[in-house]
C-alpha cells in the first residue's frame, strides 16, 4: 500500500509541476502578445483560468496528503496522544465524507450535466465537462489520502507542533 501511495504522490507532483510550467508559459505568451505584439491572444486568458482551477484543486489534494493545509489546533494540542489520535481519525472521516459527497458525487453530476448540455468554453471550444473532471478526480484523491491517514494513524508530536515536551 505504501508503494502505491508513493507512486500516486510522485505522479501528482509531476502533474502539478507540468501544469504550473504550462501556466507560466501561457501567461508569458499572453503578456508578450498583449504588450509587445499589441495583438492579444484570444485563448491564453481562458487557458490560464482553467490551469489555475486544475492546479488549485489538485494542489489542495496534494496539500491534504502532506498535511500542509492550515489547521487550528487550539483544542487538540493539549489533549493526550490517544485523544488526539481519535480526533485525527474523526477529522479524516469528515474530510472523506465531504470529498465523497460534494466533490466526487456532486462533481460527477456536474461533469455529466455539462457534457449532456454540450456546454463548451468560448475561446478554446473545449467541453466544460472535461474541465470540471478535476473536481471528482481531486475528491477521489482526497478520499484515498484520508483513508491512508486513518490507516497510518499519524498523530503530530509536541515537537512537530512547536510545543514544549512535558
For residues 12 and 23, give the distance between their C-alpha atoms in angstroms, rounded to a whole number. 16
Per-residue pLDDT tens digits for 12-51: 999 999 999 999 999 999 999 999 999 988 899 999 999 9
Q: Which residue has the higher pLDDT, 89 or 158?
A: 89
Full domain range(s) for residue 109: 2-152
Quick check: 143 and 61 in contact, CB under 8 A? no
For residues 81 and 17, give the distance between their C-alpha atoms in angstroms, rounded to a whole number. 36
Q: Report how far apart, in Å, the C-alpha atoms of 89 and of each of 41, 58, 83, 86 are.
A: 49, 23, 10, 5
Alpha carbons within 13 angstroms on the beta-carbon side of residue 16 total: 16
Does residue 162 lie in a domain region? no
Helix (H, G, I), strand (E, B) or coil at 54: helix
Does residue 160 lie in a domain region? no
User: Number of structural domains, the chain?
Assistant: 1
Q: What is the mean pLDDT of residues 138-162?
A: 81
Quick check: 61 and 141 in contact, CB under 8 A? yes
Per-residue pLDDT tens digits for 71-120: 777 778 788 989 989 999 999 999 999 999 999 999 999 999 999 999 99
Q: What is the mean pLDDT of residues 55-64?
A: 97
Does residue 87 lie in a domain region? yes
Does residue 163 lie in a domain region? no
Does residue 158 lie in a domain region? no
The pLDDT of residue 166? 42
Amino acid at each position: 500500500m505504501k508503494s502505491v501511495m508513493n507512486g500516486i504522490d510522485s505522479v501528482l507532483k509531476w502533474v502539478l509541476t507540468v501544469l504550473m510550467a504550462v501556466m507560466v508559459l501561457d501567461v508569458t505568451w499572453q503578456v508578450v502578445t498583449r504588450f509587445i505584439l499589441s495583438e492579444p491572444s484570444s485563448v491564453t486568458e481562458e487557458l490560464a483560468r482553467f490551469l489555475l482551477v486544475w492546479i488549485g484543486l489538485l494542489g489542495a489534494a496534494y496539500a491534504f496528503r502532506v498535511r500542509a493545509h492550515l489547521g487550528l489546533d487550539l483544542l487538540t494540542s493539549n489533549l493526550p496522544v490517544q485523544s488526539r489520535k481519535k480526533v485525527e481519525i474523526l477529522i479524516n472521516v469528515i474530510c472523506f465524507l465531504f470529498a465523497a459527497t460534494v466533490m466526487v458525487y456532486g462533481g460527477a453530476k456536474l461533469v455529466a450535466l455539462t457534457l449532456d448540455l454540450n456546454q463548451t468554453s468560448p475561446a478554446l471550444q473545449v467541453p466544460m465537462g472535461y474541465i470540471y473532471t478535476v473536481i471528482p478526480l481531486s475528491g477521489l484523491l482526497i478520499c484515498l489520502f484520508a483513508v491512508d491517514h486513518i490507516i497510518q494513524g499519524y498523530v503530530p508530536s509536541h515537537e512537530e507542533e512547536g510545543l514544549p515536551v512535558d
